[in-house]
Amino acid sequence: MSQWIYIGLFFIVGLLIPVGAIAVAWILGPKKPNPIKQSTYECGIETVGDSWVQFKAQYYIFALVFLVFDVETVFLFPWAVKLGQLGLYAVVEGIIFILILIAGLVYTWRKGMLEWA
């Protein structure tokens, strides 16, 4: 049986167990909604302003930098698997690849893209 069917079964059962638990809780629990209970929590006071606050643009920058390095590490995985059999040449090649991307990180650092402000 293919391994991926097993992983699919893990997904299904892994989803069924929390669904089952929450369904049991839904059956067993009382249901008495009232407006006070359902109001949004803000440390005991009435909410001030919109709930969906503005998305800080700095998060997008961090996601972009993450994307670049994530793709880099995905490319490094096949290199790492075969490194034992490939000798020093492949090591130097991989090091050059990593250094080019470290240069990218230094560029973003010097441009101030990694600041929180």
Partner 1 sequence: MSFWTDPLKVAADWLMSILTGWGMPEIAAQVLIGFLGVLLLISILMVLDNFLVWVERKVVSRFQDRIGPNRVGPFGLIQPFADIIKLLIKEDTTPGGADKVVYNIAPMLSMMSVLILWAIVPLAPTILNVDLNIGALYIIAAGAIGTLSIIMAGWSSNNKFALIGAFRQVAVMVSFEIPMLTMLLIPTILAGSMGMNAIIEKQNIWFVWLAPLGALIFLITAIAELGRAPFDMAEGESELVAGYNTEYSGMKFGMFYAGELLHAFTYGGFWSILFFGGYRFFGLEQVSPFLAIAVLVFKAFVGYWVIMWIKYTLMRIRIDHMLAFNWKFLTPLAFTLLMVTALMNALLAGASTWLYVAGMFLSNVLLAWVALTIARSYSRRERENVEGVKNVVTSRSIP
Q: Which of residues 13-52 bind partner 1 (CB under 8 A)?
A: 13-15, 17-19, 21-22, 24-26, 28-33, 35, 37-43, 47, 49-52
Distance in Å, CB of 89 to partner 1, minimum: 9
- Residue 64 in the binding site for partner 1 (CB under 8 A): no
Q: Count the residues of the shown chain that bind partner 1, applying the rule CB under 8 A.
A: 73
Q: Tell me if 92 sits within 8 A of 79, measured CB to CB.
A: no
Distance in Å, CB of 67 to partner 1, minimum: 9
69/6 Cα distance (integer angstroms) = 31
Inter-helix orientation angle 83-110/57-81, to 10°: 160
Distance in Å, CB of 107 to partner 1, minimum: 12
How many Cβ atoms from other residues are within 10 Å of residue 73's Cβ?
11
Tell me the HSE value of 56 on the side-chain side, using a 13 A CA sphere: 6
Site for partner 1 in 79-98 (CB under 8 A): 80-85, 87-88, 91, 94-95, 98
